[in-house]
Amino acid sequence: MEQIVAGLIREHEGRRVPVILFTKNGEVQTWVVVDDCALSGVRFRQFMTSCEFRSVIFCPLFAPAGLCDAIQRAEPGVEACLNAVDLQDVAPERFGTAYPQWLEQRRSRVGEKGYWLGIPEPVAFAWCEPKSKYWDPEAGCYRASWSLVPPSFSLNRQHEAERIRMVVMAGKKKRTSLLVPGSGAIRSAPRVLWTEIDNAVALARFPSDPDAGASCFRLEGSAAEMWHCLLEHVNLDAAEAALLTRFDVDLPSLRHDLAAFVAELDKNGFLEVR
């Protein structure tokens, strides 16, 4: 090989795909496609169908070994699929004796879109959290899952959070936040999500057990204002002072109602009082 062109970024389907080209006499001999992870192979299949490749080496940093094997079997142009770290398939343990039925159902849903049908163990990076999907039985299709890594641990979540904040400040979008516990006397509990719906606040707390249900609250009127003030001021005295400027109420009544509100949310795992 007379020339190696490294670090070329190829535009594909709106996504920047890092590749290394091995050329000879000005003609591409081998494509080395690099990715941080491969979880189902859908993205790599899209790349392979974008044009005709005679020689490709696929190098995902994290990927299930079964997926790498499946890609090499399915793609004649792929000379090798080399991952650095094997991701375990968690589906057999998760579904137990029902695994064969689940696998058949998943095969019928996925069809020919992917190479591999397992569920890889979770993985995330400092620069991003790989996108995943879940089956929506009511809609009869796969939908994008929520991102769970907080912005403090993810560069692309930081950029997205800032973009959403600017949009919200401009009044173009309602707020939805996964709260990170703070350091104040009153702080949100871990795994709490909230959003604004029709001038009300909807609260949900994700359980530690993925099979357990999630507690949900809807806060309206003064309760929604109390929630906003507690998040903004993180202690009762400052929240009381802010609420006194918004409502025509005497301090003893407000103090009683706010204390009861905080106690109820604390009991249901939405706030922590220190």
Q: How many domains does the structure of the chain reveal?
A: 2
Q: Which of 63, 86, 109 is the last residue of a domain?
A: 86
Is 12 contained in some domain?
Answer: yes
- DSSP-based three-state secondary structure for 2: coil
Is 202 contained in some domain?
Answer: yes
Q: H helices within 65-140, ranges in order?
A: 65-74, 91-95, 99-110
Q: Which of 31, 63, 86 is the last residue of a domain?
A: 86
pLDDT at 23 over 70: no
Q: What is the pLDDT of residues 123-160, one digit of tens each?
A: 988 888 888 888 888 888 888 887 777 777 888 877 77
In which domain, by residue range, is 74 found?
Answer: 3-86
Query: Whole-model pTM above 0.75?
Result: no
Confidence at 197, pLDDT banded by 50, 70, 90: confident
Residue 169 neighbours by CB under 8 Å, 6+ apart? none
Is 92 contained in some domain?
Answer: no
For 183-217, b/e burial (b = at least 16 CB within 10 A) is ebebbbeebbbbebeeeebbbebbeeeeeeeeeeb
Is 181 contained in some domain?
Answer: yes
Q: What is the pLDDT of residues 230-259, one digit of tens each?
A: 878 777 888 899 899 888 889 889 899 999
Is 71 contained in some domain?
Answer: yes
Q: H helices within 38-130, ranges in order?
A: 42-48, 65-74, 91-95, 99-110
